[in-house]
Copies of this chain bind each other. A is one copy, B any other.
């Protein structure tokens, strides 16, 4: 199997991006990555696009074919990879296999979504809910936020954890996002609170009091409130991949994808062995560690899929950083902050960087590349040499883990 290196990255600003359509965003991230990689356009032989719902959100099909034309990469092969909110991770894996097999020499992987122009409750939540089981789940009215609310209740009770610890994850991620110029929210929650106080909307003695205020932080899916849940965002992120043997001809600091795993779990959540364990993550992260001959203790940084803040807690356990039931407490104790035992989501995560569905799995890898290259600016994890991601499809029934290293 050929070794695969990342030789270029691109990342649009995430957020509410008006006057840009999906192809604008995919093109912007792709062209940034092309420039970052010092490659010659003519050399590309494959393009993989990760996006969850361009047909539903943007009335577009064939986006991969459209993109290669738009950015001048014809006749490169082009495919669109879908795996719900893990479409980006799946696109990275597809690109990896194109290089690893020897079928391609130079591959562009780009993930993106344009969704803020659509009504959230009326359209996006119901479209995302098409990921749930149509008979056992969806017809009873559940959506992904409602699952996350139920999961939080079970976790808090089972492991005697506190909701404040889940809030601590959001607080950390907003703090990190404030240091990320590409993030959707570049503001700490403290800053949101101070702003609300200034505007005379209330007076709170602590962030926790602010976060418990039904007006300042309304309940979305009890006990989860607005600040425990990622936003709807627009954005795109891109990677250029090549055979690691020739990576140094393109750039000085290639980052190697040394492990990739992907695994599925039951579609119906009720059927899982243990509701608070992401078995698919356990399997796929072990695949990635095994392939890279690494273990969780050797990771310097991680990008996890905190679409709901409870997920970061649980993922930090199942990816091997903390014992079962100790992920939320670890976040509370600061172990996952930049400078902590294992910094998680220095980018701000889905909570603060934002979550343009198909972009996320690629953006996670882009953040790790910046961290491993030492280009992460104020949010740099000192001396980071290896990192891992968790990109979460459906509600945990299809998870991808990507392990990258500086060589």
Is A97 in the interface zone, CB < 8 Å from B?
A: yes
Is A406 in the interface zone, CB < 8 Å from B?
A: no
Complex Cα distance, B77 from A262, in Å, reads 5
Pick from B60, B65, B397: contact of A398, CB under 8 Å: B65
Is A332 in the interface zone, CB < 8 Å from B?
A: no
Contact B94 A103 (CB under 8 A): no
Contact B82 A80 (CB under 8 A): yes
Copies of this chain in the oligomer:
2
Contact A84 B61 (CB under 8 A): yes
Query: A-side binding surface: helix, strand, loop or mixed?
Result: mixed
Is A100 in the interface zone, CB < 8 Å from B?
A: yes
Which residues 37-62 of A sit at the B interface, judged by CB distance below 8 A?
46, 52-53, 55-56, 59-62
Contact A1 B398 (CB under 8 A): no
Q: Which residues of B contact A131 (CB under 8 A)?
A: 61-62, 65
**Which of A67-75, A299-307, A311-319, A363-371 lies at the interface?**
A67-75
Is A102 in the interface zone, CB < 8 Å from B?
A: yes
Pick from B60, B76, B83: contact of A62, CB under 8 Å: B83
Q: How far is the CB of A166 from chain B (nearest CB, A)?
A: 26
8 closest Cβ pairs, A-B complex: A77-B262, A101-B101, A100-B101, A75-B263, A65-B398, A80-B82, A69-B267, A61-B130
Given contacts A62-B83, A65-B393, A75-B265, 13 further A-B contacts (CB under 8 A): A61-B127, A62-B84, A65-B131, A65-B267, A66-B133, A74-B264, A75-B263, A75-B264, A77-B284, A97-B97, A97-B103, A100-B102, A101-B101
